[in-house]
Amino acid sequence: MANSSALKGKLRLNRPFNQNFLMGCILACLPGIYLALTGLGAGGGQPTSQHVASITNSILYGVYTFFGWCAGTFLNYFGPSITVCIGGLGYPLYAGSLWAFGNGVDQAFPLFAGAFLGFSAALLWTGAGFIQFAYAEEKDKAKYITYQWSLSAVGGTIGSLIAFAANFHKTSVDGASAAVYIVFIIIMCIAIVGALLLLVKPKNVVRDDGRHIAVFKQPNIKTEIVGVWKVMSDPKIIILLPAMFAGEMILAPASSINGYFFNLRTRSLANLLFNFIMIPAPLLLAWVMDSPKIKSRKMRGVVGVTAIGTITMASLAGVLGWICVHDIDRHKTPPGADWTDGSAAVGYIFLYLFFGIVDACFQIVVQWTLSALTNDPVLCARYAGAFRGTVSLGMCIAFTLDARTVSYKNQIIIQLCVYALALASLYYVILTYVKETNYFAEENVIVPVAFEEKAIVEGLVADDVIRRERELEKIARGLALDEESNESNEAVAEAETVHVKG
């Protein structure tokens, strides 16, 4: 019986780990599949479609920038379930628009779909960031972030595998087949329904020790506007802006070169490897950044940033050398290179693999840094929105440069400079602002039992602080019970109404 109860406890829907896992699965089916499509180059279309794909992405990330900074407020009002559900709607629309454009529909459709995806993706990723930031205990921050990333990469890998299998014998420069698009769109729609049904309200999330994560108060417009302004004017967030800005910029030139240089099956192979490497690489990074063997939280952050910073700068330097050695000029006719064509093709496939590590892991160290600054769920939502909004600004500029056909060499030089500044900002914020713990310092956050017991044994907290923590849990439990009671009363009233009508 005890084992059965324990199993039930581990599988309960309102467990933080399970909510994070479900969010990762949703990401796998939405942006994971989207990344597989984007990584094919030209949005999965022919190389001649690359210009329209880049313009679409510029619009997408421009809209994303604005709504990203506002998305935390939306989430605090409506919760993760509705936020993520609405946030998923843009993905099948966008995939469908690229399919339609490849079949002769006017470019206005993908441009509109890109703008709508900018709005919806801001909501989706803010919801994901909120869950990974707010639901994780401090000792598990990197794990929660990387589990989402790795699961998203599983989706991207499966999507890439589908595309690779469909295109294996295509040595031409055609676009992706209709079957690939149809499968992708169906998977995306299933994920949207899953978000609505499976993501629970934050006030009902309960840790394995029986405690809620925080006391959630009803937000209002004034406090949310003031809250967003405080985040925008916070010195540590301002200093961290270059790192957030750089987060995903690498994807623009990397995918563009992939689309320009290779034939379809080689693009598909490179894309498969790009997505696959994002499964193990983040998990290895999480092992370092949550490692109890590195006692100092600051030092764990520094080690993680140093490792990823080295890979980032080396990868960019490598592709710059590759461009110069092989005289890659986007204004020439696309070569349609195959993986059998020698060192130039193999060299970029290898570099593209490393870009997959950079794309995932650089964002992870930025997200870890943000999550290390607070445990307050309301602030976590705002930080998640700020991160996604600023990342998208970087992507908007990167894709705009590509849409303006800036040479690949100049794009990479710009990125080298941006990433160097980003690394400097990360080091400064980690060394200056990251504390060993934020527990007991934030008003509405409920401290995990194990951490509280350790603090009591070590004499780190006063009795009145412990009493306050236990009162917070009673308040949180009462709010959750009140909601369950209200829902039960509404169900009874509805049943009685139906009975009377009958």
- Total tally of structural domains belonging to the chain: 2
pLDDT of amino acid 40: 53
Q: Are residues 301 and 325 in the same domain?
A: yes
pLDDT of amino acid 277: 92
What is the tens place of the pLDDT at every residue in 77-121? 999 999 999 999 999 998 888 788 777 777 788 889 889 999 999
Q: Is the pLDDT of residue 195 over 60?
A: yes
d(CA 36, CA 159): 6
Helix, strand, or coil (residue 335): coil
Rounded mean pLDDT of 465-469?
87
Asked whether residue 7 is assigned to any structural domain, the reply reads: no
Asked whether residue 338 is assigned to any structural domain, the reply reads: yes
Rounded mean pLDDT of 467-489?
73
Q: What share of the chain is helix, strand, coil (3-state, %, to 5)?
A: 80, 0, 20
Enter the tokens of residue 111.
Answer: 């441009």
DSSP 44: G
Q: Which residue has the higher pLDDT, 170 or 13?
A: 13
What is the tens place of the pLDDT at every residue in 120-131? 999 999 999 999
d(CA 130, CA 150): 17
Q: Are residues 477 and 372 in the same domain?
A: no
pLDDT of amino acid 414: 96
Q: Is the pLDDT of residue 444 over 70?
A: yes
Q: Are residues 99 and 134 in the same domain?
A: yes
Cα separation values, 489 from 22, 402, 498, Å = 29, 57, 14
Q: Are residues 355 and 456 in the same domain?
A: no
4 confidence band (pLDDT: 50, 70, 90): very low
pLDDT of amino acid 495: 40
d(CA 22, CA 5): 21
Pick the last residue of a domain from 400, 433, 466. 433
303-310, Cβ contacts within 8 angstroms, sequence gap of 24 or more: 304/142, 304/364, 304/365, 304/368, 305/365, 305/423, 305/426, 305/427, 305/430, 308/357, 308/358, 308/361, 308/362, 308/364, 308/365, 309/419, 309/423, 309/426
Percent of residues, the chain, with pLDDT higher than 70: 87
Enter the tokens of residue 180.
Answer: 């690939």
Percent of residues, the chain, with pLDDT higher than 90: 51
Q: Which residue has the higher pLDDT, 432 or 173?
A: 432
Asked whether residue 314 is assigned to any structural domain, the reply reads: yes
Lowest mean pLDDT among 36-40, 52-56, 357-361, 394-398: 36-40
Q: Are residues 91 and 41 in the same domain?
A: yes
49 confidence band (pLDDT: 50, 70, 90): low
pLDDT of amino acid 1: 37
Lowest mean pLDDT among 43-47, 51-55, 189-193, 214-218: 43-47
Rounded mean pLDDT of 402-423?
93
Q: Are residues 350 and 388 in the same domain?
A: yes
Domain that holds residue 368: 15-204+214-433
pLDDT of amino acid 329: 84
223 confidence band (pLDDT: 50, 70, 90): confident
In the numeric block, the tokens 């180059």 are attached to: 41
β-bridge mates for residue 337, sequence order: 262
Rounded mean pLDDT of 214-240?
90
Q: Is the pLDDT of residue 7 over 60?
A: no
DSSP 202: G
Pick the last residue of a domain from 389, 407, 433. 433
171 confidence band (pLDDT: 50, 70, 90): low
Contact 386, 232 (CB under 8 A): yes
Q: Are residues 362 and 461 in the same domain?
A: no
Q: Are residues 147 and 279 in the same domain?
A: yes
Mean residue pLDDT of the chain comes to 86
What is the tens place of the pLDDT at every residue in 60-84? 888 888 898 889 999 999 999 999 9
pLDDT of amino acid 48: 47
What is the tens place of the pLDDT at every residue in 35-48? 767 655 444 455 44
What is the domain-level CATH number for residue 322?
Answer: 1.20.1250.20
Q: Are residues 471 and 334 in the same domain?
A: no
Asked whether residue 240 is assigned to any structural domain, the reply reads: yes
Q: Which residue has the higher pLDDT, 391 or 166?
A: 391
